[in-house]
């Protein structure tokens, strides 16, 4: 059954289970709560859950863990489904924990009948007080020994809306002196008169996570229920409930959440960034959300590669953002169409050119079948301001008076003269071109000191460029003193609106990824329109030079 060697401890477990004949095939599930957008941490969980099922010939369910109606919404359901699909995974079924509310109620009644659950009248504060502490045993609720009949009647009355929120709960009768706080008679049901995004106002009692998750797993016959480390203490409750109920014994396994430095990876914190307008939305390109990364131009492939390289383990970890950048560049280098865009234009006049010359330039040197595009070389062009230097430096790759340089895909030009404005600032540069130096058919023999990107002033189109920096100034905002928002990098967005692009970029769509030569990888923003063409910088080119 197994294809390759297990590459992590989860796969080792599955390997062993399959070999032992414990299961014929496996079923996993990805169980998001629809109360926020998916982020890189979820991507790791998605890749793991769908990945192992694929590898071992099993299936994966998408299950919305929608047991808390006050925070959940269909907006999130829609975005989650879109994100999972975009990442490239297909679920066998879409389920909702709310699909099982009736069954869960029956399970609860069974527990009551077995004497394993009771209705408790204690308030939240009272329950907290009698719960004890990690080093001190708790005390029994005075309602712990109600009769089965009384519990049954009370629980039914809870369902019927006879009590107010907080007035009564259903609790499992386990062990108030357990060293595991979660085993001290955990709540199973609470009363909430809230409108549920799917069941509407049908219910006023809702199961807690502990009484929904494992039961849902069991109903779906999930073989390997993979969750994050913080659920380790829940496993004891998970197993206890399944055993008492006598239902399909799904098993829970835990792995470490994936984090990335210089950002935060919690829905609660990301929600704050959105609500307090530190970013423009869940899909702001600076956000580590799947939708944010997608909008920025990061590909699903790159995210999957990143998750694979980040690996699966049982210890808390923080991955370096540079690993993600590497995965993005590796992918984009292969597929991005090369284009030229000048961010800060400097006019260059080719004084000996009296015609327009049509050029064909390759779309991607890494892709033989990438084809070419047409560009016009004209006697007035723009280069990058910083690509002209007045003071000669050692090892320069720039334009300089008296020196020759190549214009990418076009000709070698000799820089002759700087024309100045009244205030002595540079107005334009005058050059002459070598007619026999055309790219690909150069017979000039002229040595150049580098190659520059350029655009024709006649044909160039204005574009807006949005460049992004890390969202936080510190590696791990959650670990710092005080509020994580104190460490927000207020310069994380830089908008360039002086940029001029080669005309082919008018046709850019969201199916294209671009490399603007010598600038980085860029992707059309969803706010782009024919009158304002906007590109997001996905990631810069690797730069070994500016550091030296």
Partner RNA sequence: UGACCGAUGGUGUAACGGUAGCACAGAAGUUUUUGGUGCUUUUAGUUGAGGUUCGAAUCCUUGUCGGUCAACCA
| Active centre residues (catalytic) | 33, 257, 267
Q: How many CA atoms lie within 13 A of 21 on its CB side?
A: 0
Cα(202)–Cα(102) distance, integer angstroms: 11
Q: How far is Cα 349 from Cα 413, in angstroms, rounded to an integer?
A: 10
> Judged by CB under 7 A, does residue 153 bind RNA?
no
Q: What is the dihedral of CA 140, 146, 148, 151, to 10 degrees?
A: -90
**Which residues within the stretch 287-316 sit at the binding site for RNA (CB under 7 A)?**
309-316
Residues between 527 and 546 with contacts to RNA, criterion CB under 7 A: 541-545
**For 74, phi and psi rounded to 5 degrees?**
-70, -25
E runs forming strands in 421-481: 426-433, 451-452, 455-456, 461-462, 464-468
CB of 530 to RNA, least distance (A): 27
User: Considering beta carbons, is residue 23 or 397 the nearer one to RNA?
Assistant: 397
Rule CB under 7 A: choose which of 338, 466, 513, 537 binds RNA: 338
Q: Is 323 a residue that touches RNA (CB under 7 A)?
A: yes
56, two tokens: 């071992």
Distance of CA 281 to the CA centre of its chain: 13
- Smallest separation (angstroms) from RNA to the CB of 529: 27
The region of 86-94, 196-204, 229-237, 529-537 touching RNA under the rule CB under 7 A is 229-237
Report the residue number, 38 or 517, with the smaller CB distance to RNA. Answer: 517
Number of chain positions touching RNA (CB under 7 A): 92
Residue identified by tokens 């209705």 is: 119
Interatomic CA distance for residues 78 and 34, integer angstroms = 9
Q: Which is nearer to RNA, 173 or 213 (CB)?
A: 213
- Part of the chain binding RNA (CB under 7 A), chosen from 52-60, 153-161, 323-331, 492-500: 323-331
Minimum CB distance to RNA smaller for 394 or for 424: 394
Residue located via tokens 């024709």: 456
- CA 430 to chain CA mean position, Å: 48
Q: Which of 318, 376, 461, 496 binds RNA (CB under 7 A)?
A: 318
| Cβ distance to RNA smaller for residue 326 or 459 | 326
* The binder of RNA chosen from 113, 177, 179, 351 (CB under 7 A): 179
Residues 473-512 interacting with RNA (rule: CB under 7 A): none
Helices (H), 418-477: none
Task: Please give the order of strands across the beta sheet that includes 27-30.
Answer: 27-30, 59-64, 93-96
Provide the minimum distance between the beta carbon of 422 and RNA in the complex, in angstroms, as a whole number: 30
x/- mask, RNA, residues 401-420, rule CB under 7 A, reads -----x-xx-----------
Q: Which of 98, 225, 289, 319 binds RNA (CB under 7 A)?
A: 319
166 lines the binding site for RNA (CB under 7 A): yes
The verdict on 344 binding RNA (CB under 7 A) reads no
At residue 461, the 3 state secondary structure works out as strand
Our finding on whether 98 is near RNA (CB under 7 A) is no
Q: If we measure between CA atoms, which residue out of 540, 527, 525 comes closest to residue 470?
A: 540
CB closer to RNA out of 1 and 323: 323
Residue 365 found at the interface with RNA (CB under 7 A) = yes
Residue 416 beta carbon to RNA: minimum distance, rounded to whole angstroms: 21
Please check whether residue 305 is in contact with residue 519, taking contact to mean a CB–CB distance below 8 angstroms: no
x/- map, 127-146, RNA, by CB under 7 A: xx--x-xxx-----------
Short-list 27, 50, 11, CA closest to 303? 50
32-51 residues in contact with RNA (CB under 7 A) are 33
Alpha-carbon distance values, 250 to 53, 214, 243 (Å): 15, 7, 10
| Contact positions with RNA (CB under 7 A) in 417-446 | 437-440, 442
Shortest Å, Cβ 403 to RNA: 13
Smallest distance, Å, CB 313 to RNA? 3
81-89, 277-285, 459-467, 514-522 -> range binding RNA (CB under 7 A): 514-522
Spell out the SS3 assignment of 372-412: EEEEEECCEEEEEHHHECCCCCCCCCCECCCCEEEECCCCE
Stretch that binds RNA, among 148-156, 226-234, 282-290, 486-494 (CB under 7 A): 226-234
Region of 3-11, 88-96, 244-252, 349-357 interacting with RNA (CB under 7 A)? 3-11
CA distance 8 to 14: 10
**Which one among 398, 430, 466, 513 touches RNA, defined by CB under 7 A?**
398
Question: Which residues between 368 and 397 bind RNA (CB under 7 A)?
Answer: 395-397
Q: Confirm if 346 and 381 have CB atoms less than 8 A apart.
A: no
Question: Binding pattern to RNA, positions 62-81, x when CB under 7 A?
Answer: ---x-xx--x----------
- Which residues, 232 to 291, sit near RNA by CB under 7 A? 232-234, 256
Question: Rounded to whole angstroms, how far apart are CA atoms 218 and 221?
Answer: 5
| Residues 10, 363: Cα–Cα separation, whole Å | 43
Task: Output 282 or 284, the one with its CB closest to RNA.
Answer: 282
Quick one: which H or E segment has residue 308? Answer: helix 300-310
CA-based end-to-end distance of the chain: 52
- In the complex, the smallest distance separating the C-beta of residue 421 from RNA, rounded to whole angstroms, is 25
How far is residue 227's CA from residue 46's CA, in Å, rounded to a whole number? Answer: 11
């Amino acid at each position: 059954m197994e294809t390759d060697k297990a590459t992590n401890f989860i796969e080792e477990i599955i390997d062993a289970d399959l070999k032992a004949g414990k299961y014929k095939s496996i079923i996993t599930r990805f169980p998001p709560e629809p109360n926020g957008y998916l982020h890189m941490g979820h991507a790791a969980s998605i890749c793991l859950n769908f990945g192992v099922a694929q590898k071992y010939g099993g299936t994966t369910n998408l299950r919305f863990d929608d047991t808390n109606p006050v925070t959940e919404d269909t907006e999130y359901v829609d975005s989650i489904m879109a994100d999972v699909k975009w990442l490239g995974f297909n679920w066998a079924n879409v389920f909702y924990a709310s699909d099982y509310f009736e069954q869960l109620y029956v399970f609860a009644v069974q527990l009551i009948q077995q004497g394993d659950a009771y209705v408790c009248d204690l308030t939240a504060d009272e329950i907290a007080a009698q719960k004890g502490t990690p080093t001190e045993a708790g005390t029994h609720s005075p309602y712990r020994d109600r009769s089965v009949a009384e519990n049954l009647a009370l629980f039914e009355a809870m369902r019927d809306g006879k009590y107010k929120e907080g007035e009564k709960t259903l609790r499992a009768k386990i062990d108030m002196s357990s060293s595991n706080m979660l085993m001290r008679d955990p709540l199973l049901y609470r009363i909430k008169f809230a409108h549920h995004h799917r069941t509407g106002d049908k219910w006023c009692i809702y199961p807690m996570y502990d009484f929904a998750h494992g039961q849902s797993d069991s109903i779906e016959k999930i073989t390997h229920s993979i969750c994050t480390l913080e659920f380790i203490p829940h496993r004891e409750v998970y197993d206890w409930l399944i055993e008492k109920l006598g239902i399909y014994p799904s098993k829970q396994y835990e792995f470490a959440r994936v984090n990335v430095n210089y950002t935060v990876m919690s829905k609660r914190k990301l929600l704050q960034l959105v609500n307090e307008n530190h970013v423009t939305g869940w899909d702001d390109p600076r956000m580590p959300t799947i939708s944010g990364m997608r909008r920025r131009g990061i590909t699903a492939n790159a995210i999957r590669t990143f998750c694979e390289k980040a690996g699966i383990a049982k210890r808390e970890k923080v991955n370096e953002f540079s690993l993600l950048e590497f995965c993005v560049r590796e992918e984009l280098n292969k597929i991005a169409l090369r284009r030229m865009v000048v961010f800060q234009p400097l006019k260059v006049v080719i004084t000996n050119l009296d015609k327009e010359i049509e050029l064909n330039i390759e779309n991607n040197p890494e892709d033989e079948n990438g084809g070419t595009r047409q560009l016009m070389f004209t006697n007035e062009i723009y280069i990058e301001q910083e690509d002209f230097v007045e003071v000669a430096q050692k090892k320069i790759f720039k334009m300089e008076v008296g020196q020759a340089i190549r214009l990418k895909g076009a000709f070698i030009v000799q820089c002759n003269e700087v024309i100045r404005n009244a205030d002595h600032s540079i107005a334009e540069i005058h050059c002459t071109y070598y007619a026999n130096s055309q790219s690909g058919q150069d017979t000039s023999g002229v040595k150049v000191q580098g190659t520059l990107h350029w655009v024709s002033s006649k044909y160039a189109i204005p574009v807006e460029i949005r460049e992004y920096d890390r969202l936080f100034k510190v590696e791990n905002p959650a670990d710092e003193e005080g509020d994580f928002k104190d460490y927000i990098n207020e310069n994380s967005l830089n908008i360039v609106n002086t940029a001029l692009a080669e005309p082919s970029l008018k046709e850019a769509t969201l199916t294209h990824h671009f490399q603007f030569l010598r600038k980085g990888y860029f992707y059309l923003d969803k706010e782009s329109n024919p009158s304002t063409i906007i590109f997001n910088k996905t990631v810069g080119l690797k730069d070994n030079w500016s550091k030296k």
